[in-house]
């Protein structure tokens, strides 16, 4: 058998064929490439029109919180005249669902934000003071600008005590049925049971995350009772229906509650030493407007 001879193709011809195939492939893919380019351009335009994630947070749906609504709050972080500074952000958590008109609500867990306004440390016989305000609510995609005053404030130990049963439940008895005593003296007879004041009068009902009661004015204190004609039930969490003032924070008093000018500014003072409010402390804020 003779040896097979393979014809030799000039390199220039090979190069020309490869180039023509490449052009053909590019032409066949041109519609797809054009579509991808159009989609990318549309995406960029959409991002430009809607803004960055940070800007979309400013487009949250507004909540309407009526004047007179009470907000039960636990502080996320403490503050004091020893280390706080003006402009510092302070935050808390709504501890119980807050009913709103039209069957709406502020859910438990919503965030409330505020700011330290001024700090005066103790010295040379001078009392220490710290002023602050809470003026914004945030919950998922919703927010509300508010003005609040301080009705009551309690130490974290008072808060813990109000959630501890007065006696151990019997064997097989759910702990939620146990009787507890609110900050301020009201008795709570388990979830679903009545809430009674110091005169044994029923003022509301206990629910899973707190109490719903008719707010009352305590004689001799500046705190007011119901502000709405229907005297609707309010969520007071661990506080009594007439809770007013400072509980369990020694030496601290409410110098200005924020109900009058300067509206919304809360001032705490201590005649001796620093004003110290620890994390886990409870506050009852009332919406002024």
Exposed/middle/buried for residue 11 (C-beta within 10 Å: 0-12, 13-18, 19+): exposed
Give the Cα-Cα-Cα angle 148, 152, 157 (nearest 5 degrees): 130
| Chain segment 70-82, per-residue pLDDT in tens | 999 999 999 999 9
Q: Is the predicted pLDDT of residue 41 greater than 70, yes or no? A: no
Confidence of residue 55 (pLDDT cuts 50, 70, 90): very low
Confidence of residue 23 (pLDDT cuts 50, 70, 90): very low
Q: Assign residue 210 a region (left: φ > 0; alpha: ψ between -120 and 50; beta: otherwise).
A: left
Dihedral sign (CA 149, 249, 106, 230): negative
Average pLDDT score over residue span 234-248: 98
Q: Is the predicted pLDDT of residue 161 greater than 80, yes or no? A: yes
149, 259 in Cβ contact below 8 A? yes
Say how many Å lie between the first and final Cα of the chain, rounded.
107
pLDDT top residue among 37 and 114: 114
Q: Is the predicted pLDDT of residue 56 greater than 80, yes or no? A: no
Q: Is the predicted pLDDT of residue 137 greater than 90, yes or no? A: yes
Residue where the block lists tokens 């097989």: 172
pLDDT reported for residue 239: 98
Q: Per residue, what are the HEC states of 209-229?
A: CEEEECCCCCCCCCCCCCCCC
pLDDT reported for residue 238: 98
How many Å apart are CA 183 and CA 282, to the nearest integer? 10
pLDDT reported for residue 229: 84
Dihedral sign (CA 120, 122, 127, 131): positive
Q: Is the predicted pLDDT of residue 35 greater than 80, yes or no? A: no
**Which residues are CB-contacts of 245 (< 8 A; sequence separation ≥ 6)?**
152, 153, 221, 223, 253, 254
Measuring CA to CA, which residue among 245, 243, 234, 244 is closest to residue 269? 245
Please give the model's pTM, rounded to 2 decimal places: 0.78
Report DSSP letters for the chain, one per residue: -PPP-PPPPPHHHHHHHHHHHHHHHHHHHHHHHHHHHHHHHHHHHHHHHH--HHHHGGGPEEP---TT-EEEEEESS-EETTT--TT-EEEEEE-S-EE-STT-EEPTT-EEEEEEEEEE--BTTBPEEEEEEEEEEEETTEEEE--EEEEEEE-HHHHHHHTS-SSPPPTT--GGGSEEE-BTS-EEESTTSEEE-TTS-EEEEEETTEEEE---PPTTSS-----STT---EE-TTB-TT--EEES-TTEEEEE-SSSSSTT-EEEEESSS--EE-TT-EEEEEE--
pLDDT top residue among 253 and 40: 253
pLDDT top residue among 204 and 172: 204
Question: What average pLDDT does the chain have?
Answer: 84
Average pLDDT score over residue span 78-104: 95
Q: Is the predicted pLDDT of residue 31 greater than 60, yes or no? A: no
């Amino acid at each position: 058998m003779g040896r097979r001879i393979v014809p030799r193709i000039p390199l220039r011809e090979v190069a020309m064929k490869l180039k023509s195939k490449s052009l053909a492939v590019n032409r066949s893919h041109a519609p797809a490439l054009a579509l991808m380019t159009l989609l990318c351009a549309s995406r960029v335009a959409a991002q430009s029109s809607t803004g960055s994630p940070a800007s979309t947070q400013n487009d949250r749906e507004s909540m309407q919180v009526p004047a007179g609504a009470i907000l039960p709050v636990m502080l996320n972080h403490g503050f004091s005249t020893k280390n706080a500074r003006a402009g510092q952000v302070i935050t808390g958590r709504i501890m119980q669902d807050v009913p709103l008109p039209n069957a709406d609500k502020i859910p438990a867990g919503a965030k409330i934000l505020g700011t330290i306004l001024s700090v005066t440390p103790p010295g040379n016989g001078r009392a220490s003071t710290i002023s602050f305000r809470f003026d914004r609510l945030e919950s998922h995609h919703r927010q509300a600008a508010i003005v609040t005053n301080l009705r009551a404030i309690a130490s974290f130990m008072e808060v813990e005590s109000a959630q501890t049963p007065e006696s151990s439940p019997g064997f097989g008895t759910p702990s939620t049925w146990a009787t507890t005593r609110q900050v301020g003296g009201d008795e709570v007879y388990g979830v679903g049971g009545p809430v009674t004041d110091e005169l044994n009068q029923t003022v509301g009902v206990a629910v899973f995350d707190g109490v719903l009661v008719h707010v009352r004015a305590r004689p001799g204190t500046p705190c007011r009772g119901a502000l709405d004609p229907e005297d609707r039930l309010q969520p007071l969490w661990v506080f009594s229906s007439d809770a007013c003032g400072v509980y369990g924070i020694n030496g601290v008093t409410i110098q200005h509650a924020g109900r009058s000018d300067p509206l919304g500014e809360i001032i705490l003072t201590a005649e001796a030493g620093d004003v110290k409010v620890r994390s886990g402390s409870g506050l009852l804020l009332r919406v002024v407007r």
